[in-house]
């Protein structure tokens, strides 16, 4: 299935959840904020929120620093 992630077209497996997408992108270290089709997906819903063909996803990965 085709979706857009942070402005980039990606071909991803069907029935992919937000959580699984975050894992596939290697963003499991630290918190992330996810927006799907202009709406924030609460972290508590990441494992249940399935992506669909044509979805537009924005992911912000927070990185600590000093």
pLDDT of residue 66: 59
Q: Contact 30/61 with Cβ under 8 angstroms? A: yes
With respect to residue 66, please indicate whether it lies within any of the assigned structural domains.
no
pLDDT of residue 4: 98
CB-CB neighbours of 32 under 10 Å: 18
pLDDT of residue 61: 87
DSSP output for 1-56 = -EEEETTEEEE--TT-BHHHHHHHTT--SS-EEEEETTEEE-GGGTTT-B--TT-E
41: CATH: 3.10.20.30
Range of the domain at 26: 2-61
pLDDT of residue 30: 85
With respect to residue 57, please indicate whether it lies within any of the assigned structural domains.
yes
pLDDT of residue 65: 66
Per-residue pLDDT of the chain (66 residues; tens, 9 = 90+): 999 999 999 999 999 999 999 999 999 888 999 999 999 999 999 999 999 999 999 999 887 665
């Amino acid at each position: 299935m085709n979706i857009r992630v942070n402005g980039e077209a990606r071909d991803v497996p069907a029935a992919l959840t937000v959580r699984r997408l975050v894992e596939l992108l290697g963003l499991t270290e630290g918190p992330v904020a996810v927006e799907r089709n202009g709406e924030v997906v609460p972290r508590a819903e990441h494992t249940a929120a399935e992506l669909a063909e044509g979805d537009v996803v924005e992911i912000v990965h927070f990185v600590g620093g000093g």
